[in-house]
Amino acid sequence: MNTIKQTKSTTLKLYNLKSLPIRTFWITAISFFLCFFAWFGIVPFMPDVVKDLGLTPDQKWNSIILAVSGTVFARLLIGKLCDKYGPRLCYTWLLMLGAIPVILCGLVQTPTQFLVCRLFIGFIGASFVITQVHTSLMFAPNIVGTANATSAGWGNLGGGANRLGMPLIAAAVVGFGVAEGEAWRYSMVIAGIVCFIMGIIYYFFTQDTPEGNFKELRESGIKVGKKKDQVGFGTVLKDYRTWILFVVYAACFGIELTVYGTMDDYLQNTFQLERVTAGNIVLSFALMNIFARTLGGFFGDKFGKLKGLRGRVLFLAAILAVQGVMLMTFSATTSIVVGFIFLILFSLSVQMAEGATFSVVPFINKKAIGSVSGIVGAGGNVGAFLAAMLLKSQSAVAEKAAIAANEGLGEAAVNAAQSAAASAAVSSGYFIIGVVVVVTAIVSLAIRFSTEDEKVAEMDSNVNEEDLIPINI
């Protein structure tokens, strides 16, 4: 049995493709990007889908809610599966099976079929958890926060890039003679096929850990997760810190999803922007994932070096509070210039908060990183679901009242009143959400670590590459 030096990476040199952790970083980030691209791929085509399938307003809202609801259960399950079978097999199967509802979405003929596909497409949102688990297994504590945040940020970018990418795919399809009204169907089929192919690539070009795959390690006599070291899912569920981070992630990623999904209409109704202009602003909001989430993980690591694990928590609480204040302030603005400034500040802070959250997650329970990541990741979708329900309920009531009050005054008057009512209702909802985020930031300060945890994290963070022990594989 040969002995080679293959350890967790202590640096994030993205150009060093000879390094297994770096190759894994790129493949897992690209897989995450493609999953989010496909997950929200239908969004740019919703006007076409509504017209083609005859969706009612309620069915349109329900499709949004179902898309994030399915992810909750998938993320809770996938974390435990990663701990048992390893991230490589979990990602392979998620990509290949998740491609099926994406492809079928392009073949639906009824609203019910569309809603069912949207529910199951949401399962590929669990890709986030696998990416976080895989980078946590590949990178050392001194850099894991930055690695997690960067891979997640670039993966999240897929949820915004589809606004540009999907129409381009549709344009290419139309160029081959397909009718414009059918282009959205072909685009979804293509997105699904790409995800399926990526699943094959993931299987052949990654491995679970620097030491090897879980299965091969066990077959060679190296036990992965000895029974005495295994932590039951129940133990993770009983750890209050897991649930605080669940709420924290609901307050950052969940709110980003909701704001991203409602901002187009809000900008049009509040500032009378054209749909294309509003869409481009929201796209720029999503594109900040290229660097903003990385900053959250980077500063989480820096505060970790200065103040230990407590420093990571303090930074998380601070940036989360800033996020809440920025959203509250944005909700009260009536100037597009001032509003744009605070929207950018909100975007920066919310994505940094997401990165900061997962600079803390790997230290909650190192023997069950997958389970913790799954639960915390599910919190993001629960937050999105609750926030969407809040905005839907407020907006629906306000719009119905406006329509009733202006009935008989002409279509233009009714539409104007409906837009104004929707703007006011969503603005109020944003403010309420901002307050909840600030309260969550205060609650996050309750996360504590033992003295032993602090010492272990300090030793791991200060380790030099030459001090690492070679591994038998």
DSSP 353-389: HHHHHTTTGGGT-GGGHHHHHHHHHHHHHHHHHHHHH
Compute the half-sphere exposure of residue 191: CA atoms within 13 Å on the CB side of its CA: 35
* Sign of the alpha-carbon dihedral angle for 187, 193, 196, 202: negative
CA distance 230 to 220: 20
* Six-digit token string for 179: 């009718």
287 CB-near residues (< 8 Å, 6+ apart): 157, 160, 161
Taking phi over 0 as left and psi of -120 to 50 as alpha, with beta for the rest, 210 belongs to: alpha
User: Roughly how many angstroms between the first and final C-alpha of the chain, as a whole number?
Assistant: 7
Q: In Å, what is the CA distance from 163 to each residue of 9, 43, 110?
A: 35, 8, 24
Q: Provide the pLDDT for residue 230.
A: 55
Long-range contacts of 39-42 (CB under 8 A, 24+ apart): 39/67, 39/121, 39/122, 39/124, 39/125, 39/158, 39/159, 40/67, 40/158, 40/159, 40/162, 41/102, 41/162, 41/166, 41/187, 41/188, 41/191, 42/105, 42/118, 42/121, 42/184, 42/188
Enumerate the β-bridge partners of residue 472: 3
396 CB-near residues (< 8 Å, 6+ apart): none
How many Cβ atoms are within 10 Å of 401's Cβ, its own excluded? 14
pTM listed for this prediction: 0.78
Show the DSSP H helices in 140-232 as ranges.
Answer: 144-156, 158-175, 183-205, 214-219
- The candidate with the shortest Cα–Cα distance to 121, out of 24, 43, 203, 204, is 43
CA 449 to chain centre: 26
| pLDDT averaged over 10-residue windows placed end to end, the chain, 473 residues | 57 87 94 93 84 84 81 84 90 96 95 94 91 90 85 85 85 90 93 96 93 83 55 80 95 89 80 77 81 91 90 96 96 90 93 92 83 88 88 75 72 73 84 96 94 75 48 36
Q: State which amino acid sits at residue 50.
A: V
CA distance 221 to 78: 26
Q: State which amino acid sits at residue 358.
A: F
- The candidate with the shortest Cα–Cα distance to 295, out of 358, 352, 360, 359, is 352
Q: In Å, what is the CA distance from 41 to each residue of 44, 168, 250, 358?
A: 7, 12, 22, 26
Q: Provide the pLDDT for residue 223.
A: 65
- The candidate with the shortest Cα–Cα distance to 350, out of 335, 382, 328, 370, is 328
Please give the radius of gyration of the chain, using alpha carbons only, rounded to the nearest integer: 23
How many Cβ atoms are within 10 Å of 271's Cβ, its own excluded? 18
